[in-house]
Amino acid sequence: MYLYSLTLQKASCITSAVHGNFSGTKQQEIIAAKGKVLELLRPDGNSGKVYSVTTLEIFGEIRCLAPFRLTGGSKDYVVVGSDSGRITILEYIPSKNTFEKIHQETFGKSGCRRIVPGQYMAVDPKGRAVMIGAIEKQKLVYILNRDTTARLTISSPLEAHKSHTLVFSVVGIDVGFENPVFACLEVDYEDADNDPTGEAALTTKQMLTYYELDLGLNHVVRKYTESLQDFSNMLIPVPGGNDGPSGVLVCSDNFITYKNFGDQPEIRMPIPHRRYDLSDPDRGMLFVCYAGHKTKSLFFFFIQNEQGDIFKLTLSVEDDMVTAIKMKYFDTIPVASSLIVLKTGFLFAASEFGNHRLYQISHLGDDDEETDFLPSVEFTAEYDAYIVVSFVNATLVLSIGESVEEVSDSGFLGTTPTLHCCQIGDDALLQVYANGIRHVRADKRVNEWKAPGKKTILKCAVNNRQVAIALSGGELVYFEMDLSGQLNEYTERKEFSSEVICMSIGSVPVGEKRCRFLAVGLADHTVRMISLDPSDCLQPMSMQALPTVPESLCIAAMGSGDSSESDQGGLATYYLNIGLQNGVLLRSVLDSVTGDMSDTRTRYLGSRPVRLFKVKIQNSEAVLAISSRSWLSYMFQSVSRLTPLSYEVLDYASGFSSDQCPEGVVSIAGDTLRILALEKLGAVFNQITINLKLTPRKFAIDQQSNNLIVVESDHLCFTDSTKSERKQQMAKEIIESAGNEEADLAKEVAESFMSEVLPATEFGEPKAGIGQWASSVQVIAPNQKSVLQSLELDQDEAALSVAVCRFAFKPEESYVVVGIAKDLTLNPSSSSGGLMNTYRIVDGQLELMHRTVVEEAPRAMISYQGRLLVGIGRILRVYDLGRKKLLRKCENKNFPYRIVTLSSMGSRVTVGDVQESVHFVKYRAKENRLVIFADDVSPRYVTATCFLDYDTIAVGDKFGSVAILRLSDDINDEIEEDPTGAKAFWDRGLLNGASQKAHLEASFYIGETIMSLQKTTIIPGGSESLIYTTLSGSVGVLLPFTSREEVDFFQHLEMHLRSENSPICGRDHLAYRSYYFPAKNVIDGDMCEQFNAVDGSKRRAIAAELDRTPPEISKKLEDIRTRYAF
């Protein structure tokens, strides 16, 4: 078995984000680290949206990220610390739309190790040095400089190691142009390590240590160390030099403290708590992230605590000494992993859980006189002024403004249907109709050209300066605009032997007077390229035969925007898109000199003839193809994509641009006119969001109604009833604590407190104590996108599993069983017992029948042969339905640690253990026994399993590996266990395991915790594939190869790319994909698809080694993707 791994949706969880001027322009950009992916984001101040500019797979784990700029420079670089054991400096190259490696220095072993640097990184604010640190002991400092040609240079590493030291945070202190200084939060555990009584560990203090880089002597010294009062989690550097007082803010439990060298006294301030907070009063409060903003006249920080409250922090400075910390509540947003304040007045929040957000800061909130923190934005874009709708016997012109209204003085002929209309030249309009052409000038003068004799205009192709029309009888007439804005007919006309069905002309390239090509589709099943160059005007250039009659044509310049700041950069490639009447789309590359068509790609779009329309996407041309389904062909991050639109069937469309919708589409669907905005470019899946009450843990599908039964639970959380009780208790305490004079006021405050409801989506849930849980069961109708029923469980009951079951003696009724843990603590893992709630489904609603008490938490359950199979701790047990509780039927206690997954096919069951991979079990009905007949030889921390066939199972684990295990043909599932111990010693399994073992067919490291595995088809008519989803939000697919030739081709392509285009952060690709288990029989499609992004010379060299051409390889990559997914 050979598989091809492909990521369909990249991870969405941002672990770290930094900002800077990475393009070298004045525009600020954001670089986000998403596990193994680096993404450049560009916030648009006009639209308030964040656009993804480029995404880079680094085939390694990004551990830390920091931007820096050399003194006097105008461009930011980014330093990446990864699991490669190397420090990497990257530069973004706008012309290539990619990151390039400037420097890479090796300092240690690969992998995320305790004493190998890469976990922490800090940069000197003046860009002179960078410190990269490990969790324990090692810290290295690199000096950054520039050589005589202004290129970045990096020194050898300078050591700042200290043994027996754990590091919590590292920052660069702003000291102006004095020797660079770095501050570290450290704990020296040597005394605690050597003390067998454990008393030293209780008295160990955390240290704030300053390291100074002496640029003259070229070495690092520990300048100063002081012990801290409280354990701290984060350091915040304060601007220094001419911008501020320098120093550092130390964030600790319930306090924030300002510290600096010299005579500066320590200034300590408690962290504000919410008034009448329902959270556990014994919990402390921490700041979890911050964003600093600095201008020439002021600086401030936005600091967020673990409840999501943001405070604006400023320092009062007198005579270069800080006298006070001022903190003011600013706003509350969901808890973020990174906050970034942009100069354009926006706040970017990379959320820890949930969607990332871009906020506009309307006011800094200091006082009423303060000016708004907003830039002046000038809108220079030009928008469409009219929508023209053509009917069978008339043309309607609508103006676009605050509302859409009919216009009568446009100059267009309204009594006839319109074939085409557009703006031509700088300020004129053009209308093409059956009997002629109207050229409406800016001063409303109309020039009209009439079709000769009894001929009519059948088709036309128009751009900003050229018009080509096809008359009945196959005659082609060509017009071109002169410098005065007048349309002039070319003296000769072109006759074709058959009728013209469709035609297209490309846009006029920037800096040129005309497009050189006209594409004409004829009824004789051909497309012909006609020259429009004055030297050989209307002469044929090339021809392509088609399998059937063409329906429409579209020449699009894709791969470059019009502006100099194009996202894609470089020259555009001309593509000829041919829509056929049988629902097939052909796309050929046009040679910009000869007009030859090459590298033709084919795609079936639907049952209706394909109509093509040119639209604008991210300042670049794209093609909207309409068949029985609508598709968009566009370039995104230098990769060509063809994606279906999640919208109903359209009949006609055109590009549309207005103030509210700069890059939209105006379309006709049935008898309605619609304006669409094409968003979420690059996304493969259409997502519909249904908001849930708590974090979903598992769901099951009721096959009768197709409803989802979702179990949700959250740790450190109160149920609604507990919150209500706590509120009443606090209100009572408010009234009781007040004196007689304040009784009325206290009563008013208590009533106000009781009526106040803070939405949990914005303000978060109150934090409960450890071991406290809130859970609920919800019934969801996915088709209606609604929650039908919500049942709240008791306080401290954690819902962990769910199954929909039909019991053998009542097959007509469906039951839902929910597995619950009582008083569950996560570390160390323990609970006071478990419960199984049994609900009957009546008219789509759940009715509680009874509760069954069990000894441990039931973490996995499935319906099995008319009974319920449950994993309770390390026991596998079969239950049947009883009147007052579920009844035990049989059990097996021979599992190693804890059962976490169950899957079944036929009579076989696979049991996933939390630590010891999967066990294959068979239920023997005659003997009423569960027998383990085979298991795996490797330990795996199982999170998901899925049967591929009766002998093969896919296993995903929490460390990010996927394995395919198969039982060989000679394995016997009728094997007898040995309850008496009389069987010969050598016949037993190794280490008390099963005597038969599963064979490893394939293994591959994904890099993110696998949450689910499913065998399914994604697209209509596609082949089956194995889908996986991960904790970080990515969705991927493992595709089976159909031939040995395909396997050999992709193996060799992957091998060449490993050597020619090695991962940018220095991680060895094969070692990365073999992180915990050696990669076996899986080819990395993400690596293969990087073929399209490498330099042209490397592409040709790799293609030559494979005896192919680069277009052939690109086509094979596209084919294997479109066979299974979009």
User: pLDDT digit string (tens) for 852-872?
Assistant: 999 999 999 999 999 999 999
pTM of the model: 0.89
Say what percent of the chain tops pLDDT 70.
96
Q: How confident is the model at residue 91 (pLDDT cuts 50, 70, 90)?
A: very high
1125 pLDDT band, cuts 50/70/90, is confident
Mean pLDDT of 262-287: 88
Burial profile 889-913: b = 16 or more Cβ within 10 angstroms, e = fewer? ebebebbbebbbbbbbeeebbbbbb
What is the per-residue pLDDT for 857?
A: 95
In the predicted model, is pLDDT for residue 978 greater than 80?
A: no
- The count of residues in the chain is 1126
pLDDT tier at 378 (50, 70, 90 boundaries)?
very low
pLDDT at 992: 64
For 496-516, how does the pLDDT look when each residue is reduced to its tens digit (9 = 90+)? 999 999 999 999 888 888 999
Q: How confident is the model at residue 277 (pLDDT cuts 50, 70, 90)?
A: confident
**Angle between helices 1044-1060 and 1096-1105 in degrees, nearest 10:** 140
Q: Residue written as tokens 């906020």?
A: 359
pLDDT digits (tens, 9 = 90+) for 289-331: 999 999 888 899 999 999 999 999 999 998 889 999 999 999 9
Over 80: is that where the pLDDT of 429 sits?
yes
Sort strands 3-9 and 1082-1084 into parallel, antiparallel or unpaired. parallel
Q: Containing H/E element for 1099?
A: helix 1096-1105
**Which residue type is seen at 177?**
F
**Confidence (pLDDT) at 995:** 82
Tokens of 504: 């297209």
pLDDT tier, 976 (very low <50, low <70, confident <90, very high otherwise) = low
Q: Which among 941, 830, 808 is positioned nearest to 880, based on CA atoms?
A: 808
At 1085, which helix (H) or strand (E)?
helix 1085-1088
| Average pLDDT of the segment spanning 1089-1107 | 92
**Which one-letter amino acid corresponds to residue 596?**
D
State phi, psi for 1097 to the nearest 5 degrees: -65, -40
Closest to 109 in 3D by CA, of 134, 90, 130, 89: 134
pLDDT in tens, 767-794: 898 999 999 999 999 988 899 999 999 9
Q: Is the pLDDT reported for residue 956 higher than 50?
A: yes
E strand or H helix that includes residue 295: none
For the four alpha carbons of 1038, 1043, 1048 and 1053, in that order, the dihedral sign comes to: negative
416-451 CB burial, b ≥16 within 10 A, e <16: bebbbbeebbeebbbbbbeebbbbbeeeeeeeebeb
Integer Cα distance of 541 and 237 in angstroms: 66
C-alpha 107/C-alpha 87 separation (Å) is: 8
What is the reported pLDDT for 991? Answer: 57
Q: In the prediction, which pLDDT does 799 show? A: 97
- Which of 935, 899, 931 lies closest to 915 in space, CA to CA? 899
Give pLDDT, residue 37.
Answer: 94
Cross-strand partners of 1016: 1025
Element (H, E) at 1072: helix 1069-1073
Question: Any bridge partners for residue 543, and if so which?
Answer: 528
Contact residues for 197 (Cβ-Cβ < 8 A; gap 6+): none
